[in-house]
Chain A
Amino acid sequence: GQNIDQPTEMTATEGAIVQINCTYQTSGFNGLFWYQQHAGEAPTFLSYNVLDGLEEKGRFSSFLSRSKGYSYLLLKELQMKDSASYLCAVKDSNYQLIWGAGTKLIIKP
């Protein structure tokens, strides 16, 4: 079966750094996406990785290791507005997007 694993919930402090991990077992791999979803709102696209390595985009970075079936989203200089759920999704060999359950990130002052 296909599976995406993320921690259910994480807590971090404003101004700090947090790393949200995602491991996957899918039939094939055609890219990994990270989305942010605030409560009651739709997801917004954050990043896309298809090759190994780190993609940096402002305060957010995403890393991929295809051999390990592993990715992480790194959030720096945390702000209160970063409190949200972060969804990891993998595109399989059929280009179907397989979604993780999301990680709820709580930022404390």
Chain B
Amino acid sequence: GAVVSQHPSWVICKSGTSVKIECRSLDFQATTMFWYRQFPKQSLMLMATSNEGSKATYEQGVEKDKFLINHASLTLSTLTVTSAHPEDSSFYICSATAGTGDADTQYFGPGTRLTVL
């Protein structure tokens, strides 16, 4: 149980293009999904938190117009990196929780490696 998938697992794109990453909870309904970014040999950096049907809450320093998040259903959230540039190259990971409260565990997707040329 608690399986989260991400698609694609890796993507290479040209500078200036947009890239969409999907995050799905396969065997549970995810009331909350999280998007992280991780640069090589660094810790996870939370980008935003999204709840189904409402606008995402972005962390300080994360441009909401550049990183568009949509959480349209209880099993799907998408992150779109708009007008990607080489500095956006990173490992993007989503996680999902089944509810709220102190016992809630985040289960992670396998991650998407983005390379912008």
A60 and B100 CA atoms in complex are apart in Å by: 26
Interface of A is mostly: loop
Question: Known interface pairs A41-B110, A42-B110, A42-B111. Does A48 touch B103 (Cβ–Cβ under 8 Å)?
Answer: yes
B105 contacts chain A at the CB level, 8 A cutoff: yes
Interface centre among A42, A45, A95, A102 (most CB of B within 10 A): A42
Question: Known interface pairs A87-B44, A100-B43, A102-B43. Does A44 touch B108 (Cβ–Cβ under 8 Å)?
Answer: yes
A75 contacts chain B at the CB level, 8 A cutoff: no
- Give the residue of A35, A43, A87, A95 whose beta carbon is less than 8 angstroms from that of B102: A95
**Interface bits B97-117 vs A (CB < 8 Å: 1, else 0):** 000111111111111010000
Identify the B interface with A (CB < 8 A): 42-44, 46, 91, 93, 100-111, 113
